[in-house]
Amino acid sequence: MIAAETCARIAERPWEWPWWRMTKEDAVILPWIILIHVTALIGLILFPLPGWPILLGAFALAWIGGLGTTVCYHRAIAHRALTLKPWALMILTFFAVFNGSGKPISWVSGHRLHHASADTDNDISSPRHGFWWSHLRWLWQAGIPDSVRFCPDLDSPRYRIWKYLQPPVLALSYFGGLYFGWAAFFWLGSIRLVFALHAQCFVNSICHTEPTAALGEDSSRNVRWLGFMHFFQGENWHRNHHARPGSAQLGWGWRQPDLGYLTICALEKIGAAKDIRRLRRV
Ligand SMILES: [Zn+2]
Ligand SMILES: [Zn+2]
């Protein structure tokens, strides 16, 4: 059981707050989420069919951003299931930040707390507190877990620097498409960001809803349909992941596609990844 002071906010039962209540430390998150949704809606109305080049560009950015989150943030940094060369870590972190996944230290702190307290009241993103809490609200209401406690290994410039780089990278992510015209502005920016946000958030809200699990029992689920939204990068095999959190493989066998793991194998081949903890060894 994790002590509540590792994430002081949890003791205040923030899931009982109204959804719009923000705290100073998270004050930019809700306005950012509202901004990208409103802009995406306008974009879908004005440019419902942007053309193949723009669609492929948005897909490519969401694709590599998803790899940044699952391969770099999740498997390499949070669980140490592989080691990435510094250049690969920098590139994948850039695209994770570009895709709206946040800074590595805050992502990993929250995720390690999730594993340490899954299915208890201290789990900061548990659907036991409601769908919208686990899907979105915890992002701006749960507070930031104690990174000294959860991420002492990330106390280095290569991770801390993203606190300063995140605002300009997100500005580039939101506005950058404008270079290619208005349709690209909406599709490469806010529409892609909204898609990426919900694809990730479904892991918290949908993949922890095993109906037979009592409080304190493993509620994680493998959700096959979510694989389509994740471009088959593997995060939808969440029950597998809770059973073997140290494994670099989330999909077990060919029936469970895991392109994140195949990417790791490809990175190993070119010398960008090593020390891969495969399923049989964990
Ligand atoms: Zn989980
Ligand atoms: Zn994990």
**Contact indicator for 250, 235 with CB cutoff of 8 Å:** yes
Measure Cα distances from 245 to 135, 220, 274, 280 in Å.
21, 12, 18, 13
pTM: 0.95
Residues 170-205: tens digit of each pLDDT:
999 999 999 999 999 999 999 999 999 999 999 999
Give the ligand at the shortest distance from the Cα of 107: 2
Give the ligand at the shortest distance from the Cα of 245: 2
Ligand 2 centroid vs 189 CA: distance in angstroms? 27
Ligand 2 centroid vs 209 CA: distance in angstroms? 16
- Domain borders along the chain are 34-281
30 SS3 class:
helix
Ligand 1 centroid vs 143 CA: distance in angstroms? 18
Give the ligand at the shortest distance from the Cα of 127: 1
Residue 266: the pLDDT is: 98
Give the ligand at the shortest distance from the Cα of 111: 2
Return the beta strands (E) in the chain as ranges: 83-84, 273-274
pLDDT tens-digit profile, the chain (282 residues): 455 556 778 888 899 999 999 877 778 999 999 999 999 999 999 999 999 999 999 999 999 999 999 999 999 999 999 999 999 999 999 999 999 999 999 999 999 999 998 888 788 898 988 999 999 999 999 887 888 889 999 999 999 999 999 999 999 999 999 999 999 999 999 999 999 999 999 999 999 988 777 777 889 999 999 999 999 999 999 999 999 999 999 999 999 999 999 999 999 999 999 999 998 755
Q: How many CB atoms lie within 10 A of CB 172?
A: 14
**Contact indicator for 221, 238 with CB cutoff of 8 Å:** yes
What are the tokens at 145? 């877990």
In angstroms, the CA 247 to CA 240 distance is 9
Ligand 2 centroid vs 115 CA: distance in angstroms? 6
Give the ligand at the shortest distance from the Cα of 114: 1
Ligand 1 centroid vs 244 CA: distance in angstroms? 11
Give the ligand at the shortest distance from the Cα of 119: 1
Q: How far is CA 90 from the centre of its chain?
A: 17
Residues whose CB is less than 8 angstroms from the CB of residue 55 and which lie 6 or more positions away in sequence, other chains included: 187
